[in-house]
Chains A and B, each alone.
Chain A
Amino acid sequence: MHKLLRQILKTGILPRHPCGQHGPRCDAEASKPTLAAELGRALAVRHVDSGSCNGCELEIQALGNAVYNLAAIGVRLVASPRHADILLVTGPVTRAMVDPLRAAHEAVPDPKRVVALGDCARGCGVYTPNYTTVGAVNRVVPVDLAIPGCPPSPETILEAFATLTRP
């Protein structure tokens, strides 16, 4: 036990990531005005993988580590779409994920926003439409914000979330 406590003390509290405060603006394409007015500064996010290669998921998971500390900018990943303000969609929407994605979208209460994360979800990744792939997320549900990258870096994703919470 003392080893565990010593390790916690040794690690300490990492410097807060500057993103969302004064970090460089990324080229995330915002279309709707900020959510802050409608929802306040805490966002609940439900992620849906619509057929990604798992790269975008790795970076969403990385947001939770001590370096990026997503919770510090008031963003929380939640287990149910019913608890969410934002649907965060990755992947090029395979045919088999069209219906589950629609169902998840419907389950998110209004007012809601959809964020398409990664080049596949934006419709410009390696997975172009084909016999089993529909393509960009906005072909299935309306998208409010798209985050570029393959996969987008954690800094880019944090900055994009910050644009949503910024008053």
Chain B
Amino acid sequence: MSWMRLSSPLPIHHAWVDSALWRALAVQWHCEDGQLIALWGSDERPAGLGFVVHAVIICADKWHWISLRAGIDNPRFPALSDLFPAAARQERALFDLLGIACDAGDTRSWLRHDAWGPADFPLRRDFTEGPPTTSADQPYPFISVRGNGVHEIAVGPIHAGTIEPGHFRFSVVGDEILRLEERLGYTHKGVAKRLEGMPLRDGGRLAGRICADSTAAYAGAYAMAVEMVCACAVPPRALWLRALLWERERIANHLGDLGALCQDGGLAFGHTQFGLLKERWIQTHGRLFGHRYLMDMIVPGGVARDLDATAIALLDSECTTLVAATRHLQYIVDDHAGLQERFLGTGRLAEAQARALGAVGLAARASGVSCDLRVSAPTPPYDILNTQISLHHGGDVAARVAVRFEEIYESARLIRTLLAALPTGPVRADCGRPEGSLGLGAVEGWRGLILVAVTRAPDTDSHHVHIHDPSWQNWPLLEHAVLGDLVPDFPLINKSFNLAYSGHDQ
């Protein structure tokens, strides 16, 4: 086996491994407290490699991308979910999409939902596209809890509020939650198959429409991966503007969620006030970047629009105003006994649990797990920004609220630093033709790490794009965080994580 350092701003190495080594390396990294970031597969038969399974595991701040040839007929690979629980659903999805099996215990389908047959695998290159089947959805074998006084509550896929579809099955005694099982996949739209069919440089528009609240982070990670395959050097000004957009996106989401958390906690005042701050913030997006949620701003090669001096001054003063307004509201929130009573101790996820489950992003940081790509593997311009990580140890709704407040202040500081020293020059380079065979991009989105991996067969010019949302890691956290809490607290706990459905299902 030989490691190849990929030419990326991320500290990433790639290696081809066999089954024994795949397992041995995973065991070693597991012992060294490594973290599985993503596990996926691709049909590399055009490149003569058969079916391939990939994993990206970070260990001691080194990024390892390992690829395993799983064979052509009856492809198989050794499961990793016994070491890294975050792999479990990804292994199930891998079978649904590619028919690559493993030796994991749970073999229930995860994304398929009877939209296609159990022996059809949409990500195989020879899959014939047709309309979805219309047979009735088979009942899903939820795991049931038996006992005196235990009953089940089924919620979804359509929820009471304006949110995305998913199903929650609670086992409860009275109002207390004994068990929660999630069922997702309702919004699977076949993104990977769609991206396979379009030129890499054209996929950005779609990549930015997988999960709207993280469109800048998604489009950014996608652009990074494509730029690596195309050996495109992005102008410094564009890199700085991208970071600015990611931080603005983080603030917009934190504001929206703080408002919703106040609402669920019984302080409608907070909902109105944070809603107003968010609205003004995204109106600025609309004016300066052409889209209220920043869609289509980040493109392979750079960014779509530049900022002039007036815009820079406006963005800078907006940060000052926002921080002052948010501090004022934080004082009110922290001081509000009713709200704190709802937040404190609710939906607690202990640090040990968060580590064992492989938590990422904001949820991990609220449970005392220090992980933030902007700090651990800072790509320019984060390498000189000295981002301060927000770390809290409570693991409850209150801790997730506290992390959000701190991240608003820190992101505002980053934005002002970026604006003050914005490099001059163009904001976009021609991306060029794809040449390489591996591409990887990663961005610390507001929920956590978003990863995009491109594998390409240069001879046939075919490619596969895998996009990973941090919600794959963090949805299972919710199942643990709610245990022992009351059913009426579920919306509050759920909101404090605010995980992606479409980003996860794709």
Contacts and interface: CB of A to CB of B under 8 A. Distances in A.
Interface stretch (A26-34, A36-44, A97-105, A108-116): A97-105
A138 interface: no
B190 interface: yes
Contacts of A100: 157-158, 165, 186
Interface in A39-74: 47-62, 64-67
Interface string B209-220: 111110100000
A97 B272 contact: no
Contacts of A126: 205-206, 209
Nearest to B131: A129
Contacts of B295: 55, 150
A21 interface: no
Contact of B185 (A65, A96, A153): A96
Contacts, number: 157
Interface in B404-420: none
Nearest to A10: B328
Interface stretch (B274-282, B311-319, B425-433, B454-462): B274-282
Contacts of A131: 115-116, 122, 127, 129-132, 190, 193
A43 to B, nearest CB: 15
B276 A130 contact: no
Given A49-B164, A54-B502, A94-B189, A134 B209 contact: no
Given A3-B335, A130-B129, A66 B122 contact: no
B209 A55 contact: yes
A127 interface: yes
Tell me whether chain B's interface is mostly helix, strand or loop, or mixed: loop
A97 to B, nearest CB: 6
Nearest to A88: B162
How many chain B residues sit at the interface, stated as a range, is 35 or more
B137 A8 contact: no
A162 interface: no
A92 interface: yes
B329 A67 contact: no
Given A79-B160, A132-B190, A133-B190, A99 B212 contact: no
A66 B275 contact: yes
Contact of A96 (B137, B194, B331, B335): B137
Contact of A130 (B136, B162, B194, B209): B194
B119 interface: no
Given A55-B295, A151-B212, A99 B276 contact: no
Contacts of A48: 158
B332 interface: yes
Contacts of B292: 59, 153
B137 A51 contact: no
A60 B256 CA distance: 13
B196 to A, nearest CB: 11
Interface string B54-88: 00000000000000000000000000000000000
B249 to A, nearest CB: 12
B253 to A, nearest CB: 10
Interface in A115-136: 125-127, 129-134
A53 B162 contact: no
A148 interface: no
A60 B335 contact: no
B263 to A, nearest CB: 10
Nearest to B113: A96
A54 B158 contact: no
Contacts of B276: 11, 65-67
Contacts of B215: 55
A82 interface: no
B273 interface: yes
A106 to B, nearest CB: 13
A27 to B, nearest CB: 19
B279 A67 contact: yes
A133 B158 contact: no
A7 B188 contact: no
Contacts of B137: 96, 99
B133 interface: yes
Nearest to A56: B212
Given A48-B158, A55-B212, A97 B187 contact: yes
B211 A54 contact: yes
* Most chain A beta-carbon neighbours within 10 Å: one of B188, B189, B272, B278: B189
B497 interface: no
Contacts of A127: 189, 209
A95 interface: yes
A147 interface: no
A144 B30 CA distance: 55
24 contacts: A11-B273, A47-B162, A51-B188, A52-B164, A52-B502, A53-B212, A54-B164, A60-B162, A62-B282, A65-B278, A66-B275, A77-B162, A91-B187, A94-B189, A95-B115, A96-B115, A97-B165, A131-B122, A131-B129, A132-B115, A132-B116, A150-B209, A151-B212, A151-B293
Interface of B: 113-116, 122, 127, 129-134, 136-137, 157-158, 160-165, 185-190, 193-194, 205-206, 209-213, 215, 256, 269, 272-273, 275-276, 278-279, 282, 286, 292-293, 295, 328-329, 331-332, 335-336, 500-503
Interface of A: 3-4, 7-8, 11, 47-62, 64-67, 77, 79-80, 91-92, 94-100, 104, 125-127, 129-134, 150-151, 153
Listed from nearest, the 7 A-B pairs whose CB atoms lie closest are A55-B212, A95-B115, A95-B132, A65-B275, A79-B160, A96-B113, A132-B115
